Homo-oligomer: A and B are copies of this chain.
Amino acid sequence: MELKQPYLLFLGDAADALAAKVAQGIKTWRPEHCLGQLRLPECQADVGLQELSVSAAARAGAKTLVIGVANRGGVISPAWIEVLLEALEQGMDIAAGLHNKLTDIPELVAMAQKHGRNLFDVRYPTQSYPVANGKKRSGQRLLTVGTDCSVGKMYTSLAIEKEMAGRGMNVDFRATGQTGILITGSGVSADCVVSDFIAGAIETICPDNSAEHWDIVEGQGSLFHASFAGVTTGLIHGAQPDALVLCHEPTRQHMRGLPDYALPDLATCIEANLSTARLTNPAVQMIGVSVNTSALSEAEAMAYMDKVESDLGLPVVDPFRQGVARLVDRLLERV
């Protein structure tokens, strides 16, 4: 699936800024794709784009209304339907990454058909993927892995893509989750693929490329997460990474959603990821660590990162505080 740009970002009735984090992600990483935002009267979020009505957005050339808001349970709120119908009438596609599907709402389906528009439920794969073949591909790949879920793998990947693009390198972010797909307009939601085809789906989204090209593949889950390590394993094997970056959140008390499971220590986690990745690329290297230190003070964050850097002998950065230039420097030294 390939979403058409530019976007009208729909913030709906977001209860707070966090509820609109998908819209914020698109605005942060692909501002050039965003024409404006549309907020319902009760909306408590604002990503700082110009306010556009559906008809104003259509006149300005918006091709897709992206639902940039999530509410509890991932449902499509009845309060949104009127706006969505209007967007279809005005010639836009609609894209969403929610648990519930746009295509399960008969009035949206009917209106889309009437106007020849598309409804994209990016969480759900629409193509069938092959079983992975494990063959060495041309081009180069970096994959983010994590000590846990939701520790900054997407953010780190997008920051690395931006840093490399800024240096004039030939680089593409490859999305493996719904937010990443909405940000970049394509990819596959790895955890929604039938398990036989996880590695094959990832092979498909980062295919053969020119020798100097880098795919920055968004990781998912963790080898140490008892619910999702299968997804992570297939993703690592399919990505065939030349380089890994480990992502970590240092204040987490236990694995996300699993109160009985402690986080792995970083050295153990690095060795396990390298060991798994070597199956499809024996030359893989860990090039650095990306830490989300948002729960720490500046002084605590710096002390923590200094300690990890000296323990592991790898560059350690918080991409939000410091950027990822040192990770890209290490990548280039290594090549």
CB-CB under 8 A from A272, the residues of chain B are: 275
Q: Is A118 an interface residue (CB 8 A)?
A: no
* A263-305 interface bits toward B, Cβ cutoff 8 Å, 1 = contact, 0 = none: 0000000001001100110000000000000000000000000
CB of B191 within 8 A of CB of A193, answer no
Within 8 A of B (CB), among A169-196: 190-196
CB distance from A182 to the nearest CB of B (A): 19
- In the complex, what residue of chain B is closest to A276 when comparing beta carbons? B229
CB of A192 within 8 A of CB of B191, answer no
* A251-262 interface bits toward B, Cβ cutoff 8 Å, 1 = contact, 0 = none: 000000110110
CB of B200 within 8 A of CB of A133, answer no
CB distance from A213 to the nearest CB of B (A): 22
CB of B227 within 8 A of CB of A230, answer no
Q: Is A63 an interface residue (CB 8 A)?
A: no
CB-CB under 8 A from A276, the residues of chain B are: 229
CB of A133 within 8 A of CB of B227, answer yes
Q: Is A135 an interface residue (CB 8 A)?
A: yes
CB-CB under 8 A from A231, the residues of chain B are: 195-196, 198, 230, 234
Within 8 A of B (CB), among A213-253: 223-224, 226-235, 237
Q: Is A199 an interface residue (CB 8 A)?
A: yes
Known: A133-B227, A195-B198, A226-B280. 9 other contacts (CB 8 A): A133-B257, A135-B260, A195-B230, A196-B227, A196-B231, A200-B227, A230-B230, A230-B237, A261-B279
Residues of A bordering B, CB below 8 Å: 131-136, 190-196, 198-200, 223-224, 226-235, 237, 257-258, 260-261, 272, 275-276, 279-280
23 contacts between A and B (CB under 8 A): A131-B227, A131-B228, A132-B226, A132-B227, A135-B260, A190-B195, A191-B195, A191-B196, A192-B196, A195-B230, A195-B231, A196-B228, A196-B231, A199-B226, A199-B228, A199-B229, A199-B230, A200-B227, A229-B233, A229-B237, A230-B230, A230-B234, A233-B234
In order of increasing CB-CB distance, the 10 nearest A-B pairs are A230-B234, A134-B226, A191-B196, A233-B233, A132-B227, A195-B195, A230-B233, A198-B230, A230-B230, A195-B231
